[in-house]
Structure 1
Amino acid sequence: MTTTTPHDEAADLRRRLADSLTSGGALSHTSPWHKAFAAVSREAFVPRFSVRSGGELRSFGAKDAGYLAVVYSDDTLVTRRDEAGTPVSSSSTPSLMARMLEAFTVADGAQVLEIGTGTGYNSALLCHRLGSENVTTIDVDPDLTATARERLAVIGYTPLVVTSDGTRAYTTGARYDGVLATCGVDRVPAAWVRQVRPGGVIVTNIGDGIIRLVVDGDGTARGGFLPDEASFMRARPTADHVAPTAPEFTGLVVNGKGVARTMDVPVPDDDEHDEMVDRVKAFFGEFVHRPALEIGMLQHDVLAMTLDPEGDTMHGLVHPESGSWARITPRAGARALVEYGGPRDLVTERLALTTQWLAAGRPHLGAYTLAVTADGAHTLSRAEPAARSWAL
């Protein structure tokens, strides 16, 4: 009789995960990262976590039935939340991690800086490929860095783990062959650009996409976006920072009193939506959930929501910093009632961006490029279709 130990099961699941990342296209067939995924223990970094499955949030511990199978699924495993219940640390979806690592085109033995240590799993993948002595990883949360350092050491990895705000320059002034950020940013910090050698790469989540930048000889980082949408937990300025969330402003959106006007909803003919009501719904789905990259980057600090109080659908936009808000209630035909308050007219801003994006044929993320100078100036560009540039 043959028995399978948990160790054997985990090793088999690791190999299957690595193979599935390759067969699914997240890794190339010659990728040097395949061996890392096949070798590094993910369960070492997630003894407890929650995961959303079929709309239900489930919690798992190492002794729970099915634990290892979920650990090696292509799911995000949330390990910590802030006081508002917002996830602030997780082991990200392996296929997304793999796509970012594949875009992180550094040579063997390269010196790299990881922003956002989190659980430490991605740090371990970097150490396996590049060697612990070549990896520096930073996180603002001392509890996360302490735990990650311990778990990395248990499985044989000893990168330099630093507790600091990773969006600022690392104090040694070291320069790296690459910076990989496993957290989301609204702008690429100039400190990252200055800390990467000419020819080095920066890979990070910005807006709703993953950008890969190469630093050139004049200190400017230029590059394009990976084709698939992606979003990471946002970088935190301090370990106890609690970011505002849309539900906090439900009362303001529903009950706010301000300027009112009607709006013509720009609903172009759509083969998939013959009825006007369907086309209006489709428009607001795009308007609110911002698939246009330029919306995510130019209105990165605007929260959005869709509500259905008493059966009357309304959409809300809120800019917490200025107190600006807007409520959009669709009416008969291609019309909507807009009510808003505060110094920013959020609807006019977003409507212009959405209309331009629709007129350009809903360009995908791969149509955009970004340039970031050493002093932090950002220029977002789109060549085709309908060339445009935005100074951020």
Structure 2
Amino acid sequence: MTIVSTASEEARAHLVRSMTDTGALTSPGWTDAFRGVPREAFVPSFQVRHGDQIDTLTAQDLGFHTAVYQDTSLITRWDACGTAVSSSSEPSLMARMLEAFTVTDTDRVLEVGTGTGYNTALLCHRLGEDQVVSIDIDPELTTTARRSLASVGYVPDLVTGDGTLGVGDRAPYGGILATCGVHRIPVEWVRQVRPGGTIVTNIGTGIVRLSVGAESATGGFLPDPAAFMIARPTPEQVAHRAASYTALVINGTGRESRIDLPDARDTRGFYQDLMEGCALEVAMAQYDVLSITLTAGDTDVYGLVHPDTGSWARIIPAGKSTADVVVGGPRDLWTERATLTARWIAAGRPGPGAYTLTVEPDGAHTLQREEPTTTSWRL
């Protein structure tokens, strides 16, 4: 069993108080789970990003327990290209998702994205290990998580496989909680949750809570933007890295134009909106487009890339309200992104909480926003 130090208990208690004070934790069941599960058992070593700097900590380092119980994501695994593919997520975000995961004490639940096993342990503490099924694509992660969970006394049903397919032979579930991002809600999840059950996951730049009906599922988003690492179809998959397309964005030749910015009153803010993808509707419509921000001398260069088609766009500010744009490939990524972003700005920059999502039996997604006027998109 894991030996829990006084430093760990004090740091954990402080984190729980902080999450309670901010409203991330509201129910006794999940509060007890965060009090009872030692996070350090699942992250014996990790990395924390501070801007461009990455710090590595292990249990032997001074301040380890303080760092473990910071309300931040702890990176534990990288792919071959240096992209983070597994982490222990920000505890307050985990808490908000768990609070939205309104299942009963007798429900069997499926967690998609075992990762370190920390969230799995919270589910086990709250619901009982016999009620928890968890799946991850990476056999090394499930092996390590199984060992970590056993060290704190939990033996849930861990499965190695593609979580986007669910785990059909253990269904039906009272709910599915995914600690990874998806571009679309898999219809298999909807089919494997009983009517009245709940699906909570990251899609686009928001966390959606869906209530499952007889065939479809519908629900709203939590108020604040959030994004997880996207689910991988295989453990060997290397994520697209924006840096590998830098040369294309800087040196590519294509169709040139000078354009007026849709939001000339706040040029830099518009570029941030354009590139950071904070608009839920933009992120869901252009989920397959990478954003790149570069600095060449005193000039900011913005790039968009669609790896599957080789389409790209280069945007260079040419004054307060204009920019020089070059696009290449079959998709005009600039026009797509600018149109979507301008519409979102005109609506008052609504956050994720302004939207609802419906997933139909055929997998079609309908995103809807009520303010300032009812607008919907079938994706």
When normalised by structure 2's length, the TM-score is 0.97
| Residue 123 of structure 1 pairs with residue 120 of structure 2 | yes
How far residue 268 of structure 1 moved from its aligned partner, in angstroms, is 5.3
1:83 to 80, 99, 103: 80
List structure 1 runs of 4+ shifted beyond 6 angstroms.
none
1:44 to 34, 41, 46: 41
Distance 1:181 1:6, change over 3 A: closer
| Residue 380 of structure 1 pairs with residue 377 of structure 2 | no
- Counterpart for residue 221 of structure 2: 225
Secondary structure, counterpart of 2:336 in structure 1:
helix
- Counterpart for residue 18 of structure 1: 16
Distance 1:80 1:377, change over 3 A: same
**Is this contact kept in 2: 1:19–1:34, CA < 8 A?**
no
Can you list the C-alpha shifts for 1:124-179, whole angstroms capped at 9, x where unaligned? 00000000000000000000001101111111101100000000132416110000
| Residue 141 of structure 1 pairs with residue 128 of structure 2 | no
Amino acid aligned to 1:240: E
How far residue 118 of structure 1 moved from its aligned partner, in angstroms, is 0.1
Structure 2 distance, partners of 1:7, 1:56, is: 29
Structure 1 distance, partners of 2:5, 2:240, is: 42
- Counterpart for residue 263 of structure 1: 259
| Residue 355 of structure 1 pairs with residue 342 of structure 2 | yes
Structure 1 distance, partners of 2:13, 2:268, is: 44
Amino acid aligned to 2:270: F
1:160 to 139, 157, 162: 157
| Residue 67 of structure 1 pairs with residue 67 of structure 2 | no
How far residue 14 of structure 1 moved from its aligned partner, in angstroms, is 2.0
Structure 1 distance, partners of 2:51, 2:295, is: 22
Structure 2 distance, partners of 1:169, 1:367, is: 28
How far residue 12 of structure 1 moved from its aligned partner, in angstroms, is 2.4
Structure 2 distance, partners of 1:362, 1:54, is: 26
| Residue 389 of structure 1 pairs with residue 364 of structure 2 | no
**Is this contact kept in 2: 1:118–1:144, CA < 8 A?**
yes
- Counterpart for residue 238 of structure 2: 242
Structure 2 distance, partners of 1:372, 1:54, is: 37
Structure 2 gap segments, 5+ residues each = none
How far residue 314 of structure 1 moved from its aligned partner, in angstroms, is 1.5
**Is this contact kept in 2: 1:227–1:365, CA < 8 A?**
yes
Structure 2 distance, partners of 1:53, 1:322, is: 34
How far residue 6 of structure 1 moved from its aligned partner, in angstroms, is 5.8
Q: CA RMSD in A?
A: 1.3
* Count of aligned residue pairs for this structure pair: 377
Amino acid aligned to 1:17: L
| Residue 280 of structure 1 pairs with residue 280 of structure 2 | no
Structure 1 distance, partners of 2:307, 2:51, is: 32
How far residue 9 of structure 1 moved from its aligned partner, in angstroms, is 2.1
Deviates more, 1:256-265 or 1:127-136: 256-265
How far residue 332 of structure 1 moved from its aligned partner, in angstroms, is 2.3
When normalised by structure 1's length, the TM-score is 0.94
| Residue 325 of structure 1 pairs with residue 312 of structure 2 | yes
Structure 1 distance, partners of 2:80, 2:97, is: 29
- Counterpart for residue 7 of structure 1: 5
| Residue 337 of structure 1 pairs with residue 295 of structure 2 | no
**Is this contact kept in 2: 1:191–1:374, CA < 8 A?**
no
Amino acid aligned to 1:211: V
- Counterpart for residue 93 of structure 1: 90
**Is this contact kept in 1: 2:168–2:192, CA < 8 A?**
no
Structure 2 distance, partners of 1:333, 1:204, is: 39
- Counterpart for residue 248 of structure 2: 252
Structure 2 distance, partners of 1:207, 1:256, is: 28
- Counterpart for residue 365 of structure 1: 352
Structure 1 distance, partners of 2:250, 2:51, is: 29
Distance 1:109 1:173, change over 3 A: closer
Structure 1 gap segments, 5+ residues each = 270-278
Secondary structure, counterpart of 1:241 in structure 2:
coil
**Is this contact kept in 1: 2:225–2:351, CA < 8 A?**
no
